[in-house]
Amino acid sequence: MDKKKYVGRSIVRKDGEEKVKGSSIYTDDIILSGLLFAGVYRSNVESGKIIKLGIEKAKKVPGVKAVLTYKDIPGRNLVPVVFDDQPLLVEKRIRYYGEPIALIAAESYEAIEEAKDKIEIEVEKEPRVITIEESIKKKHIVNKRFSENIFQEYHIKRGGVKEAFQNADLIIKNKYSTNYQEHAYLETQSMVASHDLNGRFSIFGSMQCPFYVQEGVATILGIDLSRVTVNLMTTGGAFGGKEDVPSIVAEIAALLSYKTKKPVKYILSREEDISVMSKRHPAYIEYESAFSKNGALLGVKVNYYLDAGAYSTLTPIVLWRGVIHAIGPYTCDAVEINGYGMATNKVPCGAYRGFGTPQIIFAGESQMDIAAEKLGIDPVKIREINAFKKGDITATGQKLKDSIGIRDTIRVGKKEFKWSARKDKIEKFNAKNKYKKRGIGAASMFYGVGLGARGGPLQKGSALISISKDGSVQFAVGTTEMGQGMYTVLSQIAADYFGISVENVSPSRVTTEKVSDSGPTVASRATFISGNAIKLAAERLKSNLIKFMIKKGIVKKGSKIEFKNEKIYETGRFIIGFKELSEKAWLNRVKMIEASWYLPSMTTYNNKNGQGDAYVVYSYTTNFVEIEVDLVTYQTTVISLYSAEEFGKAINPTLAEGQIEGGTVQGIGYSLYEDMILEGGKILSNNFSTYLIPTIMDIGELKPIIVEKPFEEGPFGAKGMGEMPLMAIAPAIGNAIYSATKKRLFNLPLRSEDLYNEFKNK
């Protein structure tokens, strides 16, 4: 019998104690001899040409050690992502407000501020593109390389769309728009760069993707990748905001360090961070759906536009994920989806939990509710009618084979939420209350796990595991711990493969020195990719130990060997303790270290027709929400929010629930509170007194519900789940507002003022 298994148990997180005690070491805690601070002089126009730039006076400020422009870059002036169109420093043309022009290293922040004041600049303003509409109309071409202002476009076509709409009983056509969302991680972007031995560079920082940062630093300095080591510090939240932009932060620190020959720390203030770092793309969506009178989704036509900002960064991939998921978790045989990533003279957008999908889900799931009402079908029922079953085909023509949990999330969530009983209770409440109206809403979604076909060469993972002579196990992976709990989850997985106590498993600091490029820590992929990589390495090590035991005659060849309860069993009979075996193996010079290489199943995508097996597998969520609208102020408050999520297997249920709760709160913020305000391309709401995220007083009752449907290829059946909790909150709340007030809002966030205007303009 297995006394101890860790997978499926809510053990305390490995880094829990140090986080609670405040003893975790963050980038800002790094102090090195001769450390300098970095600052960035940025543009104050959205679009223009630099005519003159004078840095001599700034250089003379006491305490200032370097003032650099693009001319000082020894390598390529580039932030490498997908299309390589973004320079680190402006050469001539400014394309967004806050674009870096000069870098300053100094002994104090006061000296940096003084140096910024002493930089002399003359800029000739040029026409600017602020909205998606202006970009489409080509009011100005943001970057001549993209002559139509389109960074990337995708077209998915499947089935007879024209016929589907001709045969439909109901056609619903609407326009939707969504605003930015700021990541609001607790720790702002931060990096330290320092010289190492023999012309090597060491980077320490807060990030999701050490291998992106490595490439960025090598590119800007013009040195070999293998001369750059990137080390992960404790990372205080990321949510996608530390996928691509940490490369910029590290390049700045590294360039200044290279020039001054001193270690350099660059930490952004909250205001700078919100103003110039990446965000969720604003979107404009035209969504047309065709239904039969019994509620079947017959056809969908979508035009999806993302406001990418001035450089393409991750837009090609963000947009791709959005179009793949545009229909939602529903069977639909006639599909036409067009996606466009549009250039504007604004801060470049990038990755954010959900990656181009929450915007389109808001539209699709609102459409679903509108259809339900028009057809007189319950909103949950219409989702059940259309939800994927085994063997169904996605919009990209992918046949779903395994671990399809959408119907389970609807069924379990509906029951726990008491959908029907709640409906009756609300009717009574609303009849009694003049100024408060309650409503309920639901929304479903699916989400491809891992990078998918557009991730190309990045779909891989590596692990390095070693067993010490005392029987403790150390593992290294290429994905990062950023607060989500990866160290703990992977330790649980490793502990169970070796059958040892999780106390004896130790994750080592993530660094580019230990494993090969394992791709980014994004796309809800860390558990799946690194978990599988750990499995492979553990199997190799166990095989080394078994071979050794056979050689020594401890066990017989061909018999069933099990590793469990910190012991080794042969056909059920205790043979030796794991610790004792480790010591014996060490004495006999057995290989106690193994690296693995994991490649997930093949994915495909045909750019011509938008067809292919886009992702290895999908995870599923249905949200149920009750809200209250105050008719005095038109404000909406969440009463309770249930999230039923299916992601294969919860390795650590408490951590998974933590992800669900955190994501839900971010989703509530995206729905009701977070409203980025700009003046042209300048972000005005650049701190937390103007950019409002929900507080504990604003979130109501949260109830995470985990539904398990193991996936064969996943470690212990796990898929991925980090992003889902946020993604379908907004339409659920929008639908609930409709159910309370009979007013529908088509723009995110769902502003009190917009609801007020709906009441006014009735």
Partner 1 sequence: MNNIFINVNNLNDLLTAKNEYGKKAKILAGGTDLVVRMKNKMMDPEVIISIRKVDELKGIHSKKNDLIIGSLTTHSEIEENSSIKKNYYPLFQAVYSLGSPQIRNLGTIGGNIGNASPSGDTIPPLYIMDAKIKLMSKNGERIVDIKNFFKGPGKTILKDDEIIHSIIIPKGRWTKKISGFYKVGKRNALAIGVVSVAWIIKEDTIRFSFGGVSPTISTTEIKKNANKKKVEKEVLKAISPIDDIRGSKNYRRDVILNIVEKIKNDNP
* DSSP strands (E only) in 233-331: 264-267, 283-291, 297-309
Q: Which is nearer to partner 1, 24 or 752 (CB)?
A: 752
Near partner 1 by CB under 8 A, which window of 9-17, 313-321, 337-345, 694-702? 694-702
* Shortest distance (Å) from residue 691 CB to partner 1: 11
Q: Site map for partner 1, 639-678, x if CB under 8 A?
A: ----------------------------------x---x-
Q: Which is nearer to partner 1, 110 or 424 (CB)?
A: 110
Q: Which is nearer to partner 1, 623 or 685 (CB)?
A: 685
Place of tokens 């990038």: 350
Residue 147 lies near partner 1 (rule: CB under 8 A): no
In three-state form (DSSP H/G/I as H, E/B as E, the rest C), the secondary structure along 439-481 is EEEEEEEEEECCCCHHHHHHCCEEEEEEECCCCCEEEEECCCC
In three-state form (DSSP H/G/I as H, E/B as E, the rest C), the secondary structure along 590-623 is CCCEEEEEECCCCCCCECCCCECCCCCCEEEEEE
**131, 430, 466, 637: residue in contact with partner 1 (rule CB under 8 A):** 637
**CA angle at residue 447 from 446 to 451, to 5 degrees?**
165
668, 441 contact by CB (below 8 A)? no
* Shortest distance (Å) from residue 753 CB to partner 1: 5
25, 233 contact by CB (below 8 A)? yes
Kindly identify the residues of this chain, within the stretch 241-280, that bind partner 1 according to CB under 8 A: 271
Q: Site map for partner 1, 484-523, x if CB under 8 A?
A: ----------------------------------------
* Shortest distance (Å) from residue 37 CB to partner 1: 17
**3, 21, 52, 434: residue in contact with partner 1 (rule CB under 8 A):** 434
CA distance 624 to 383: 12
In three-state form (DSSP H/G/I as H, E/B as E, the rest C), the secondary structure along 484-531 is CCHHHHHHHHHHHHHCCCHHHEEECCCECCCCCCCCCCCCCCHHHHHH
DSSP classification of residue 234 = P
Query: Quick one: tokens of 179?
Result: 């605003």
Near partner 1 by CB under 8 A, which window of 49-57, 244-252, 472-480, 633-641? 633-641
Residue 433 lies near partner 1 (rule: CB under 8 A): no
CA distance 672 to 29: 35
Near partner 1 by CB under 8 A, which window of 312-320, 462-470, 571-579, 628-636? 628-636
Residue 689 lies near partner 1 (rule: CB under 8 A): yes
Q: Which residues pair with 753 in a beta bridge?
A: none
Residue 761 lies near partner 1 (rule: CB under 8 A): no
608, 628 contact by CB (below 8 A)? no
Single out the residue of 290, 281, 336, 337 nearest to residue 312, CA to CA. 281
**447, 498, 634, 647: residue in contact with partner 1 (rule CB under 8 A):** 634
Query: Quick one: tokens of 648?
Result: 């294969």
Near partner 1 by CB under 8 A, which window of 204-212, 479-487, 648-656, 750-758? 750-758
Residue 752 lies near partner 1 (rule: CB under 8 A): yes
* Shortest distance (Å) from residue 458 CB to partner 1: 39
Residue 760 lies near partner 1 (rule: CB under 8 A): yes
Residue 117 lies near partner 1 (rule: CB under 8 A): no
* Shortest distance (Å) from residue 638 CB to partner 1: 11
Q: Which is nearer to partner 1, 654 or 757 (CB)?
A: 757
Residue 762 lies near partner 1 (rule: CB under 8 A): no
**635, 640, 654, 747: residue in contact with partner 1 (rule CB under 8 A):** 635
Near partner 1 by CB under 8 A, which window of 458-466, 564-572, 640-648, 682-690? 682-690
Residue 753 lies near partner 1 (rule: CB under 8 A): yes
* Shortest distance (Å) from residue 620 CB to partner 1: 31
**15, 134, 333, 698: residue in contact with partner 1 (rule CB under 8 A):** 698
**124, 173, 633, 701: residue in contact with partner 1 (rule CB under 8 A):** 633
Q: Which is nearer to partner 1, 543 or 695 (CB)?
A: 695
Query: Quick one: tokens of 687?
Result: 């701190």
Question: In the Cβ-directed half-sphere of 665, how many Cα atoms lie within 13 Å?
Answer: 18
DSSP 3-state of 631: coil
Query: Quick one: tokens of 333?
Result: 């045989």
**692, 713, 743, 758: residue in contact with partner 1 (rule CB under 8 A):** 692
SS percent in the chain: helix, strand, coil, step 5? 35, 25, 40
In three-state form (DSSP H/G/I as H, E/B as E, the rest C), the secondary structure along 664-725 is HHHHHHHHHHCCCCEECCEECCCCCCCCCCCCHHHCCEEEEEEECCCCCCCHHHCCCCCCHH
Residue 432 lies near partner 1 (rule: CB under 8 A): no
In three-state form (DSSP H/G/I as H, E/B as E, the rest C), the secondary structure along 103-121 is EEEECCHHHHHHHHHHCEE
DSSP classification of residue 600 = P
| Interface with partner 1 (CB under 8 A) | 110, 271, 434-435, 631-635, 637, 673, 677, 684-685, 689-690, 692, 694-698, 752-753, 756, 760
